[in-house]
Amino acid sequence: MLKKRYFVAGTDTDVGKTLVTCALLNSAKEAGLKTLALKPVAAGCEATEHGLRNDDALQLQAHMTLNLAYDQVNPVALTAPIAPHIAAAQEGRRLTADRLVGFCRGAMMQPADLTLVEGAGGWRVPLNEREYLSRVPVELGLPVILVVGMKLGCLSHALLTAEAIQRDGLALVGWVANQVDVNMAAYQENLDSLRQRLPAPCLGTIPRLPSACAKEASTYLELDALL
């Protein structure tokens, strides 16, 4: 099969990008595929004896099949759980798209059937005074999977994000509805509105799960459309 590479974006922070990424990795592993996952920049890391570690990146590392060092999975780790450019400034660092692209290209030399690069926050998260994280998938030429956090306000967030992705010249290959608000009013009507308006197929709808279990979440997703 051809090697498949995608960027996993979200309509906002805490919408389930990592859950969806790990669920796709789980499905690919069960299909016998070699998988690679990257989190180029992560804010909200904890100090450990091995250095700064981010829970999302650790989950990616645990669910992919290739054996990659943490620093390759998450090359830029920041302490404060805030916007990456602000967290970096607090540490006297400056983020650049070129550097993140270089890290990704180096790691993506590994032989994987499916590679997933997970973003941070939403599509237009700033990296510095001029650049946004969205430049990374643009430079890498990665088609995009959009994770929509199903909650009040998600329609505008999802449609604007899809417009921005296409305006940046990238293909939106699919989207996943992840129910982050179990009490969301008119859930089905909102889901139907997204199906009608988003210019890509829905790859699955994940209900609110008791725990963020990638294996369980994978049962709600359709991997074949990506492969």
Residue 116, phi then psi, degrees to nearest 5: -120, 125
**Would you call 39 a catalytic residue per the annotation?**
yes
Q: Is-contact 175 147, C-beta < 8 A?
A: yes
Q: Whole-angstrom Cα distance, residue 87 to residue 80?
A: 6
Hey, what long-range contacts does 105-110 have (CB within 8 A, 24 or more apart)?
105/140, 106/72, 107/36, 107/38, 107/68, 107/72, 107/73, 108/5, 108/36, 108/38, 108/140, 110/36, 110/66, 110/68
From 3, 29, 39, 215, active-site residue: 39
Which are the catalytic amino acids? 39
